Structure 1
Amino acid sequence: MFSKRLIVRRLAPALLATLAIAAFVPACGGDDDDEASTSPPATATAAVPAATPTESPAKRIEARLTGVPGIVNPANLSWPREVEGLNGRRTIKEKPLKIHTMSAGIDEITLSLVPIERIVGVGSATKNPDTSSFATLVKNLPTVAREPEAVIASGANLVIATPTQKADVVAAIESAGVTVVQLNLDPTPAGRLNAILLLGYIYGEEERAIALADEVEARYRKVVDVTGKKPDTEKPVVAHLTKYTSLYMAGSGTTGEGVITAAGGRNAGTLGGIKGNQQIGLEAILSANPDIIIIPMPAEAGEKFKAELMAEPTLAGVPAIQNGRVYVVPPALYTTNSFANVRAVEHLAHILWPREFPVADPPQFSLAGQAR
């Protein structure tokens, strides 16, 4: 999710967009398999100046939204309004009051921008505490399956789809008169902030989106302002491993890589030439020789996998195994495609640099899930 460069101007989304790195690929056990972008993130060519205190609220919002990929006309804060998705340009006729998203990560952003009464239902991943930190909040909402018939039956008049949704699924939902916007998810810092701002615009909640983006960015910067100054020679090599039916390691262009890099580590998969989340054998772990292993899996399954690694004779010489530095970490933070990944950065920074980051359990964002 994160670029190696810092975000240097809070009110310049066009500048933020230039930080984009390669789009990432599906993660094993991730967030409804929506960790894939079918086209590279948009890149703006010039920074947008910050609005001055004397400008009207509308002008300040316009300044902040200018350069956010997907927003066609940031000066238009009335209805109807247009946005550009992977499925083309779509018109949103009025403020949407019946919303459904096809991703746990997008649900988390949405629940932080609009009152829960405007959400008609969520997928099972959002109700699962292993995959979403919002599971308790949505426990009373209807569960909506991903099939077009179920989405249409939910009564939604606006659906937010992921990049991996098949074109025929999107077309089937739209054939029922439902507006569908298929987002191009970008795992960089710019992408996470832009997703908040774009969804805020789609929902007519621009002010709240800006406030949430500011909070997320401030906490991200608090970490990378420290870890970004550490020389590579001091940064531990961290392997991001999962095992369900097969063993996977996160490589370049993944959310795992971004979390590790921002937290001040070097991603073992990237160093080993792995792209995306690839199936591997034990020899890849031996070759990577990581100082630390993180396992973003549900606790029971993760602890079982950890025990297997610790007992594997061929891995006995790996520093992470030798020193007992194998950690089962919460997938709800590490794999969900939302601002929760910033909490994963804070969580891992504590593991890697406990003196600089003494908080072991980073708190939820103050605006998360609090829309009224």
Structure 2
Amino acid sequence: MRRGLLHLAALAACLAAGCGREAPKEAAPLRIVSTSAAATHILLALGAEEELAAIDSHGSIVPGAEHIPVAGRGSVLSLEELTRLRVNRAVLWYYQRELAASLRDRGIAVTTVPPLRLGNYAELVQRLGELTGRKREAQRLVGEFQAALPAASEKTGPKVYWELYGPGRAVGEESYFGDLLRLAGAENCAAGSAGGGSVSLEAVVARSPEVILFMEGSGSAAEIAARPGLAGTPAVKSGRIHPVDRVRVLEGVDPAGAVRYLHELIHRKERK
């Protein structure tokens, strides 16, 4: 009788300890592919380099990302490469819906990056901090970001026309680049437009820009100055037509540094 009770007690202890059950599988290490330069920059700043398994080719321009494996270009990713790199999470731009659906069908979880503005940048940092288990680092980054941004000035700065990759394609007021311009102390000549939209040459001339910016590699100061009507604008008369280094203003990559860079361009002294 006593021996039987001992056997029962041992059996109960064994069951309580999980004897006979398979040990729970450990969660697979987080392996991320990022097609967002902003997310790539933030992940690296969070110290999540080991989790960042792959990027798309556009992300190679992000400082520090040069050595990360490239798994494709834009929304065209190599499934073979993702499999080889054991990717189990994708961080994609909001507009990459087809890619998101395709990856989910293959068991890869997706985190979406919304249309980026300076106002929601801190939220993106916090989301990626939660994803990678680096909430403390995310709080630190958010604090540094908020401290580094200058306060919006109530004073009216120089009127700036910022052209994106071709005539009439202007930086809109309600956009990430528009936010940068505003904090850099400029009055946007494309005020009233939401994102990057079209603006006529006549409208640009009528707003009499004092500074003209254009993306480096998409034109030249001489070509812009030669356009009909622009020769009479303050920007052309003073020679304040400046190329913008794309790497310095990448969407979501060091926004505070981008504001400082644009401020320097916009407030350069006029030609004597």
* TM bracket, shorter-chain basis: 0.7 to 0.9
Kindly indicate whether residue 174 of structure 2 is the aligned counterpart of residue 253 of structure 1: yes
CA contact (8 A) 1:152 1:173 kept: no
Return the letter of the residue paired with 1:198: R
Return the letter of the residue paired with 2:184: A
CA RMSD of aligned residues (A): 2.3
TM-score calculated relative to the size of structure 2: 0.79
Distance 2:70 2:159 in 1: 40
Higher deviation after alignment, 281-290 or 201-210: 281-290
Q: Which residue of 2 aligns with 1:337?
A: 251
Return the letter of the residue paired with 1:199: L
Kindly indicate whether residue 213 of structure 2 is the aligned counterpart of residue 294 of structure 1: yes
Which is greater in Rg?
2
Kindly indicate whether residue 103 of structure 2 is the aligned counterpart of residue 179 of structure 1: no
Q: Which residue of 2 aligns with 1:214?
A: 143
CA contact (8 A) 1:185 1:195 kept: no
1:322–1:202: structure 2 CA closer, same or farther, 3 Å change rule?
same
Following TM superposition, by how much is the alpha carbon of 1:313 offset from its aligned partner in structure 2, in angstroms?
Answer: 4.3
Structure with greater proportional helix content: 2
CA contact (8 A) 1:97 1:118 kept: yes
Distance 2:86 2:38 in 1: 21
CA contact (8 A) 1:95 1:203 kept: no
TM-score calculated relative to the size of structure 1: 0.59
Q: Secondary structure at the match of 1:243?
A: coil
Following TM superposition, by how much is the alpha carbon of 1:277 offset from its aligned partner in structure 2, in angstroms?
Answer: 0.9
CA contact (8 A) 1:259 1:341 kept: yes
Q: Which residue of 2 aligns with 1:205?
A: 134
Distance 2:253 2:59 in 1: 14
Give structure 1 stretches of 5+ with no counterpart: 1-92, 356-372
1:79-115: CA deviation from partner (whole Å, max 9, x where unpaired): xxxxxxxxxxxxxx95853111111111111111134
Return the letter of the residue paired with 1:346: R
CA contact (8 A) 1:152 1:176 kept: no
- In the comparison of the two structures, how many residue pairs are matched? 240
Distance 1:161 1:243 in 2: 24
1:159-189: CA deviation from partner (whole Å, max 9, x where unpaired): 11111112x3212101111111123244033
Kindly indicate whether residue 44 of structure 2 is the aligned counterpart of residue 111 of structure 1: yes
Distance 2:132 2:48 in 1: 11
Q: Which residue of 1 aligns with 2:21?
A: none
Q: Which residue of 2 aligns with 1:58?
A: none
Distance 1:275 1:286 in 2: 20
1:186–1:126: structure 2 CA closer, same or farther, 3 Å change rule?
closer
Higher deviation after alignment, 201-210 or 110-119: 110-119
Higher-RCO chain (CA-CA 8 Å, sequence separation at least 6): 1
Q: Which residue of 2 aligns with 1:192?
A: 121
Give structure 2 stretches of 5+ with no counterpart: 1-25
1:179–1:341: structure 2 CA closer, same or farther, 3 Å change rule?
same
Q: Which residue of 1 aligns with 2:193?
A: 274
Following TM superposition, by how much is the alpha carbon of 1:333 offset from its aligned partner in structure 2, in angstroms?
Answer: 2.7
CA contact (8 A) 1:106 1:337 kept: no
